[in-house]
Amino acid sequence: MGGDAGASVIELTDVSKVYASGELSVEALRSVSVVIRGGEFVAIMGPSGSGKTTLLAILGCLDRPTSGSYKLVGEEVSTLDETHRARVRGGRIGFVFQAYNLLPRTTAYRNVELPLVYAHVPARERRPRVLAALADVGLSDRIDHLPTQLSGGQQQRVAIARALVIKPSVLLLDEPTGNLDSKSEEEILTMLGHANLAGATLAMVTHSEEVAQHASRIVRLADGVIVSDEPIERPIAVGAR
Amino acid sequence: MTAALEHWRIATAALKANWFRAILTALGVVIGVASLIAVTAVSAGASADVAASIRRLGANVVGVDGEYISVGTRQSATDRTITPGDVAEIAKLPMISLAAPHQDVESLVVSAGRFRTNTWLVGMTPTYAQIYNQRIARGRAITENDISFGRDVIVLGLVPAARLFPGRDPIGGTVRVGSHEFEVIGIQARRGQLADENLDNRIFLPLPIVTRVLLGGLNTVHMAVRVTSESEIETAQDAMSEILIRRHALPAGYPEDFSTQDQASVLKEAQSATTTFKALTFALGGIALLVGGIGIMNMMLVSVHERTREIGIRKSVGASPRVVQAQFLIEAIVLSTLGGIAGVLAGIGAVYLIGTIAGWQTLIGVPSLVIAFAVALAIGLIFGYYPARRASRLDPIAALRYE
């Protein structure tokens, strides 16, 4: 799903981000360099204010680094304008947010279809892809439900289907289980493990050590710099299956 | 273009979600478009009315009115200034096809039995009837024979006919004018208004009876001519003035003892009085549209604000600024266009009401409907642009975090 396993999907080199507000300027990221390869499942951890959300925004092309280079599947994306970044987001990046961020008053089907519409996928090709994506997250019987008619776990599964329907190069997750009970959390993490096994590359921001243990690698940030970057030898996700 | 259908679906869903607000917002456009259509229809109707009046009252008619000047002329008051010689010479002008003297008494009480009415008497000839396109509704017109045999006959306009012979057939009846009695031989067909004069409140007698018997003398105060074409009207007026000045031997620098005026200009003048009113209503319609446009802009700004998070979501899944802008612009256009359609319908309804209640002639032209519709569309485009632009420029991160 995410290109050749082992090839670098994300390549950050000396990336800094400075937020300037008035006379104050805050350095959220300082010369961060990291490589994420195809098929990896990376957990990004750190206390609040450590820069992990900023890092995820830059990885997701929602924000631009102040300096440094960001190559996504070999393409330099740090200098793109908003129109081209929108194209990269729509074509290569899948997002899953803590608050699900589904469109209100819009069915599960339409929510999942949305990225395909913006990516100019012809209408007749959309339907099978949307149905397949919803089937992958076990919601084939909920396609016409509105977000308000779905549980939190189900909403997050719709969000995962929406993120995966474009077959992204990388799936970015921001506290994906932060709003869920432990049963739903387990479901979602299992689902992400499956996607990872199927080849998807994942980068997940979390503050929970337990959740992070589902990843294959943990990158820890503090004060805008990477303080540790270690693989997990035996991901519990595999053991749990 | 990213699925126009998708934009349409998003726009209608968003409007449906806030349908009451949408209706209130569109109301300005509805009122503006409706009033523009109503004004256009009324003024087109008035123009058509004038054209029809000119056809009905006789085209290219110029009236010459004698005016008594007390100093320095050789005419006396009883001369009534237009002589048979004046008429004969003017009739020979190449651009004059017909010339007829007539003598009017503008306010006169006449009676038939116990019924009396105040009317306007015209002493005339068949040529006069021809110039003014006079039609007879019932009975017959005054002929050359009536004039040469000196018959005491009278033709009534619709108003004196109704007042003097209520519920009876006037033909064959007797009308008393001063000390003379006349036999009613015909009823003039409806002529309507010329400016503020009711042309149906008229009675017609053979000219010689009026000049010789009722008033004495041969001259008349009035003359009517028909000019060969509309483009010759001014030349004809100049040529007639020249003849009259010479024949009346008016000393240089003295005011003319006559005036000329063409009938079409009287009609157009009467119509132009309504032009001010029209312009005012048009301006009000324009202001309503402007206010409607501002209303749309306001609602769209509120809508963009309320849907900040939605915009963030759309951007995160690949919507470019242009696509977001198109989405909100289309929503504004859908709103103003629906307002435009409702406005066109309301306008047609208003025109129909004006036509039935006020009795004005109205004319709804297809171009005016198309233009009104296009204006509504343009309003959506113009006033939707800024809010849409604002939506397209929202920072996706800030938009996603927005609660």
B316 and A102 in contact by Cβ < 8 A? Answer: no
A189 in Cβ contact with A211 (< 8 Å):
yes
**B28 pLDDT above the threshold of 90:** no
pLDDT of amino acid A92: 94
- Confidence tier at B1 by pLDDT (50, 70, 90): very low
| Residues belonging to chain A with any Cβ–Cβ distance to chain B shorter than 8 Å | 57, 60, 62-63, 82-83, 86-87, 89-91, 95, 97, 101-106, 114-115, 117-120, 123, 162, 166
**B400 pLDDT above the threshold of 80:** yes
B310 and A104 in contact by Cβ < 8 A? Answer: yes
Q: Give the pLDDT mean for B202-209.
A: 93
Which of chain B's residues have a Cβ under 8 Å away from the Cβ of A104?
310
pLDDT of amino acid A240: 44
B159 or B84, which is more confident: B159
Query: How many C-beta neighbours within 10 Å does residue B368 have?
Result: 20
User: If you write DSSP's letter for every residue of A144-192 in order, what string do you get?
Assistant: T--GGGS-HHHHHHHHHHHHHTT--SEEEEESTTTTS-HHHHHHHHHHH
pLDDT of amino acid B360: 79
> Strand pairing partners for B187?
B138, B156
Q: Give the pLDDT mean for B119-144.
A: 93
Task: Tell me how far the alpha carbon of residue B232 is from its chain's centroid.
Answer: 24
pLDDT of amino acid A4: 58
Helices (H), chain A: 52-59, 82-92, 108-118, 123-136, 152-164, 182-197, 209-212, 236-240
Q: Give the pLDDT mean for B133-147.
A: 93
- Helix B19-57 × helix B366-392 angle, to 10°: 150
Q: What are phi and psi of A140, to 5 degrees?
A: -55, -30
pLDDT of amino acid A2: 44
pLDDT of amino acid B144: 93
Q: Which of A234-238, B63-67, B128-132 has the lowest mean pLDDT?
A: A234-238
**B287 pLDDT above the threshold of 60:** yes
Which among A1-5, B52-56, B306-310 has the top mean pLDDT? B306-310
**B386 pLDDT above the threshold of 90:** yes
d(CA A14, CA A1): 28
The ranges of chain A with pLDDT < 70 are: 1-5, 234-241
A123 and B3 in contact by Cβ < 8 A? Answer: yes
Q: How many percent of chain B have pLDDT more than 90?
A: 46
**B195 pLDDT above the threshold of 70:** no
Q: What angle do CA A4, A10, A13 make, to 5 degrees?
A: 140
How far, CA to CA in Å, does A64 sit from each of A140, B190, B305, B392, B396?
37, 83, 24, 17, 12
- Confidence tier at B272 by pLDDT (50, 70, 90): low
**B225 pLDDT above the threshold of 50:** yes
Q: How many percent of chain B have pLDDT more than 70?
A: 94
Average pLDDT, chain B: 86
A62 and B400 in contact by Cβ < 8 A? Answer: yes
pLDDT of amino acid B197: 80
In chain A, whose CA is at the least distance from the CA of B17?
A105
**B296 pLDDT above the threshold of 80:** yes
Token pair 């908003």 is found at A82
The model's pTM is: 0.72
The distance of B338 to chain A (nearest Cα, Å) reads 23
pLDDT of amino acid A138: 93
Q: Give the pLDDT mean for B181-191.
A: 93
| ipTM > 0.90 for the complex | yes
CA terminus-to-terminus distance, chain B:
31
- Confidence tier at B126 by pLDDT (50, 70, 90): very high
Q: Which of B136-140, B207-211, B254-258, B384-388 has the lowest mean pLDDT?
A: B254-258
